[in-house]
């Protein structure tokens, strides 16, 4: 075959390919259908369980069996996505009405994952069997080929209630996200009935029935007045709070008990919540806490916070609302697949489309039932008529050579090849006009059907069939009759499956926390060589002064209301509120400084640490690796931001020394090639922090500053160079911006 090269615009090909990919993810993977409220993987899993016969009244089957069958027949996207979908459909803390009954470890509300699929078992819930998968044999929905066209699967399941609202949905597609909160089944059914009675009903009127979301975890919706806008537009933010109770215990102490959590706290966020409370205590923002314990179990959430006597409970609750996820936001974005494309839908629109779907599947169901009853009536009428002329039919049967001869006589009155006992019988036979279906039923009829009681039963059955036909035709011809059938089904669902609302809807006041003013005092900041820091009071410091300076790299006096400043080799200044640093005992480990600041030990090194309140008393001398120097007034670093630039650096340059100075000193620069330059700090001019500075030492082409030393003019000290002592007096005083003296050791 001759090779053909197709020339095309690259950007157009990329655009077309990406759009195809995006639509595939949106339609076939990530977003639910407004009709049944299910994503494709959920729909396929439920249908596969239905096909395998894993009903609610039959034994459980291994999850691995379900996952494997679903993947092999309908969903070729990997077992993990199928099992994850199955797990979520079993979890009553995520779904308003779980659709799968799980047996085994399917995870919990605290974030523990489900056991492997080879260990767990599952079967359909009764509501799934009766209200989502029922009537699939009655041609109520279209079936489409599966991925390899070896099986057929339903394009949508005939769900009898607005599952998209009841169970909600979350999904991330390409360029869009859906986030629909769950609602109460009973309220949704009542709203659906109200819409069916009056299609001009407003969203506000529908909210008389649907008060708001009903999360499986309970909690409180705090912004009731915002719900109307959310339900009209399909977008908005719902403010959630956990439910808190106060319990008095012996000794006058108080226990704050959290019995319900915001829906957004499901999973690992419960652990994060407990850590946040512990952090509030460590940061001295909640000193009234005595103990925290998570006593949650299968019976429900129970997080106990023990408080001191005379604690202002309301203020403490407001602190939790402000500083932890006990108050959180649920972002609503009600996007679903409607008419084959993604659309943002309001409350009324979701109900309207579901009701239209109910009319469609009900029409198809009763059309199928009517056709079956019409076929049944045709056969029944033929048998009843045959019983009345049974002698003639027996004579035809006895006088015929084969089945086709009898069938032609019964349907068309053709008597060729049939021997009759009398001419009268021949004439009567020519008048027969049974339908083909009736003729086949007569030929298949057994002799016991000629018993009188059997004939009476046939006549009675025919009356019931006629009554069914009349009823089905009435349902199909009159919309009111069909609406009544749908409403009856909804009422039956509500009666059996509806539960009491869990989430409270109200307009709560904004949480206002009055932070207690700290008694301002001096404390000591300590940080070891590993970067763990803490603060201690002055009394503790005085008792352990020698040990503090021996064990800690930085020991800095500061105010408990001030800030600590970290200067790094990258020219950055990171500030930390002293209140955010753990305050405790001398032997407490403390926290890594990385955890409470923007400083990262993996990308930068700390050169100096100072209290911001004391910087005004000093000037700072900066020295870079390329020999640039400058002095900056400490008042320039009175920053409130967590990170600011402390200086300007040249290309590929970095700081190697930052020194706090109050008087003139001698500065000694030592280069990598062994040159030493000693000069007075008074030779360095004072600059703004945004300046690069002046050259302190002339360096060779590949030479850099390796070490910086500070000394008094008349010092007798020495420095260590190449593991040997070099007296400072040996290094002659020189001028800035010279090459210096090479010292050989």
Kindly write down the DSSP assignment for every residue of 373-425, as one continuous string: HHHHHHHHHHHHHHHHTHHHHHHHHHH-SSHHHHHHHHHH---TT---SSHHH
186 within 8 A of 498, measured Cβ to Cβ: yes
CA-to-CA distance for 423 and 415, rounded, in angstroms?
12
Residue 745 in 3-state DSSP? coil
Closest to 566 measured CA to CA, from 653, 658, 688:
658
Long-range contacts, stretch 495-501, CB < 8 angstroms, 24+ apart: 496/127, 497/97, 497/127, 497/131, 497/185, 498/184, 498/185, 498/186, 498/189, 499/184, 499/185, 499/186, 501/184, 501/187, 501/211, 501/214
Pairing status of strand 220-221 against strand 504-505: parallel
133 within 8 A of 47, measured Cβ to Cβ: yes
CA Rg value for the chain: 42
Token duo for residue 653: 């340059």
325 within 8 A of 276, measured Cβ to Cβ: yes
CA-to-CA distance for 336 and 430, rounded, in angstroms?
64
Token duo for residue 617: 């008393």
CA-to-CA distance for 492 and 486, rounded, in angstroms?
10
Spell out the residues 6+ positions from residue 733 whose beta carbon is closer than 8 angstroms to its own: 666, 678, 679, 680
Token duo for residue 328: 């959180």
Residue 614 in 3-state DSSP? helix
Q: How many CB atoms lie within 10 A of CB 479?
A: 12
Helix 40-51, helix 79-90: angle, nearest 10:
80
What does the CA dihedral 401, 404, 409, 413 come to, rounded to 10 degrees? -130
Pairing status of strand 572-577 against strand 243-248: unpaired
For residue 43, report the phi and psi dihedrals to the nearest 5 degrees: -60, -45
The burial class, CB within 10 Å (0-12 / 13-18 / 19+), for 724 is: exposed
487 vs 129, 164, 374, 494, 720, CA distance in Å? 19, 18, 26, 10, 93
CA-to-CA distance for 163 and 375, rounded, in angstroms?
35
* Bridge partners for 554 per DSSP: 527
Report, as residue numbers or ranges, the catalytic residues.
119
CA-to-CA distance for 26 and 154, rounded, in angstroms?
18
User: In the block, which residue shows the tokens 């629909």?
Assistant: 180
């Amino acid at each position: 075959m001759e090779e053909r090269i197709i020339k095309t615009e690259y950007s157009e090909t990329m655009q077309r390919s990406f759009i195809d990919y995006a639509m595939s993810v949106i339609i076939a993977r990530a977003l639910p259908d407004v009709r049944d409220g299910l994503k494709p993987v959920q729909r396929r899993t439920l249908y596969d369980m239905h096909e395998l016969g894993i009903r609610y009244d039959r034994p459980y089957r291994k999850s691995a069996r379900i996952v494997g069958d679903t993947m092999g027949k309908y969903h070729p996207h990997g077992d993990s996505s199928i099992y994850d979908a199955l797990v979520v459909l079993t979890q009553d803390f995520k779904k308003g009405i779980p659709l799968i009954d799980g047996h085994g470890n399917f995870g919990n509300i605290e974030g523990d994952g489900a056991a492997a699929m080879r260990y767990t078992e599952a079967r359909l819930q009764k509501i799934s069997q009766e209200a989502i998968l029922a009537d699939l044999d009655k041609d109520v929905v279209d079936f489409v080929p599966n991925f390899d066209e070896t099986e057929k699967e339903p394009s949508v399941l005939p769900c009898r209630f607005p599952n998209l609202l009841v169970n909600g949905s979350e999904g991330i597609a390409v360029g869009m996200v859906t986030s629909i909160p769950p609602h109460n089944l009973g309220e949704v059914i009542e709203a659906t009935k109200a819409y069916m009675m009056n299609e001009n009903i407003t969203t506000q009127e529908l909210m008389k029935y649907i008060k708001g979301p009903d999360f499986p975890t309970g909690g409180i919706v705090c912004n009731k007045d915002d719900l109307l806008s959310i339900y009209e537009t399909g977008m908005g933010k719902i403010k959630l709070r956990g439910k808190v109770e106060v319990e008095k215990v012996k000794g006058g102490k108080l226990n704050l008990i959290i019995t319900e959590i915001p829906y957004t706290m499901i999973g690992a966020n419960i652990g994060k919540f407990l850590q946040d409370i512990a952090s509030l205590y460590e940061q001295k923002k909640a000193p009234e806490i005595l103990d925290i314990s998570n006593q949650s179990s299968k019976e429900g959430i129970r997080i106990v916070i023990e408080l001191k006597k005379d604690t202002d409970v309301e203020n403490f609750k407001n602190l939790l609302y402000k500083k932890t996820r006990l108050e959180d936001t649920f972002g609503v974005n009600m996007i679903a697949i409607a008419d084959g494309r993604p659309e943002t839908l309001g409350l009324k629109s979701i109900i309207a489309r579901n009701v239209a779907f109910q009319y469609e599947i009900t029409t198809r169901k009763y059309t199928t039932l009517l056709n079956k009853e019409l076929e049944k009536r045709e056969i029944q009428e033929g048998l009843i008529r045959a019983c009345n002329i049974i002698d003639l039919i027996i004579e035809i049967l006895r006088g015929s050579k084969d089945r086709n001869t009898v069938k032609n006589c019964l349907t068309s009155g053709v008597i060729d090849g049939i021997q009759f006992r009398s001419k009268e019988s021949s004439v009567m036979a020519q008048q027969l006009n049974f339908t083909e279906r009736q003729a086949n039923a007569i030929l298949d009829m057994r002799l016991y059907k000629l018993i009188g009681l059997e004939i009476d039963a046939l006549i009675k059955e025919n009356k019931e069939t006629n009554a069914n036909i009349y009823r089905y035709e009435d349902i199909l011809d009159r919309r009111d009759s069909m609406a009544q059938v749908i409403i009856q089904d909804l009422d039956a669902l509500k009666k059996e499956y509806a539960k009491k609302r869990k989430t409270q809807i109200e307009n709560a006041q904004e949480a206002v926390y009055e932070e207690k003013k700290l008694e301002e005092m001096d404390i000591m900041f300590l940080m070891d060589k590993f970067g763990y820091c803490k603060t201690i009071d002055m009394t503790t410091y005085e008792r352990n002064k020698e040990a503090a300076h021996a064990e800690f790299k930085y020991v800095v006096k500061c105010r408990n209301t001030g800030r600590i400043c970290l200067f790094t080799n990258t020219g950055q200044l990171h500030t930390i509120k002293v209140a955010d640093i753990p305050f405790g005992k001398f032997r407490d480990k403390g926290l890594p400084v990385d955890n409470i600041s923007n400083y990262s030990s993996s990308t930068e090194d700390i050169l100096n640490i100072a209290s911001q309140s004391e910087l005004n008393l000093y000037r700072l001398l900066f020295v870079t690796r390329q020999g640039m120097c400058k002095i900056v007034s400490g008042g320039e670093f009175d920053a409130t931001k967590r990170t600011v630039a402390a200086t300007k650096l040249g290309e590929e340059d970095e700081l190697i020394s930052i020194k706090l100075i109050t008087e003139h000193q001698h500065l000694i620069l030592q280069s990598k090639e062994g040159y030493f330059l000693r000069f007075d700090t008074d030779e360095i001019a004072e600059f703004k922090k945004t300046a690069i500075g002046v050259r302190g030492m002339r360096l060779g082409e590949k030479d850099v500053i390796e070490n910086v030393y500070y000394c008094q003019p008349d010092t007798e000290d020495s420095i260590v160079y190449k593991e040997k002592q070099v007296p400072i007096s040996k290094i002659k005083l020189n001028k800035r911006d010279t090459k210096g003296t090479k010292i050989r050791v």
